[in-house]
């Protein structure tokens, strides 16, 4: 199983997203491979159906996918319990990953 963290160079939030992802996985006692993907241009954004930086995918599915007609390099915000933030919380990641693991089992 692979989890992908997609971002673009210069994104101020992707490293915190990676930290939160590691914490969520540790809480779950789960150690999947994490693939970090640098989205370099709009062509790559389209190829990966990039939702904005940072984005996290499990089994190729964005954790909070929104269907789009076009994909571009852009920042992403998450609706967290603390309001709009540049990264999902550890709890949000843990809950969503657990949901996806159960639905794909």
Residue 105: per-residue pLDDT:
65
pLDDT digit string (tens) for 67-102?
899 999 999 999 999 999 999 999 999 999 999 888
- The total of structural domains in the chain comes to 1
Q: Mean pLDDT score of the chain, rounded to an integer? A: 95
Residue 104: per-residue pLDDT:
76
The answer to whether the beta carbons of residues 54 and 15 sit under 8 Å apart is no
Q: How far is CA 35 from CA 4, 47, 81, 85, in A?
A: 5, 16, 27, 23
Domain that holds residue 90: 2-103
Mean pLDDT of 46-59: 96
Q: What CATH number should be reported for the domain holding residue 36?
A: 3.40.30.10
Mean pLDDT of 4-12: 96
């Amino acid at each position: 199983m692979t989890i992908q963290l997609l971002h673009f160079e210069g994104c101020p939030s992707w490293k915190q997203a990676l930290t939160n992802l590691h914490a969520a996985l540790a809480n779950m006692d789960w150690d999947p491979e994490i693939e970090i993907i640098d989205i370099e241009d709009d062509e790559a954004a389209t190829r990966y159906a990039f939702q904005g930086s940072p984005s996290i995918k499990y089994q190729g599915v964005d954790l909070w996918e929104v269907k789009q007609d076009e994909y571009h390099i852009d920042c992403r915000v998450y609706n967290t319990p603390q309001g709009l933030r540049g990264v999902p919380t550890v709890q949000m990641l843990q809950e969503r990953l657990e949901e996806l693991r159960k639905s794909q089992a």
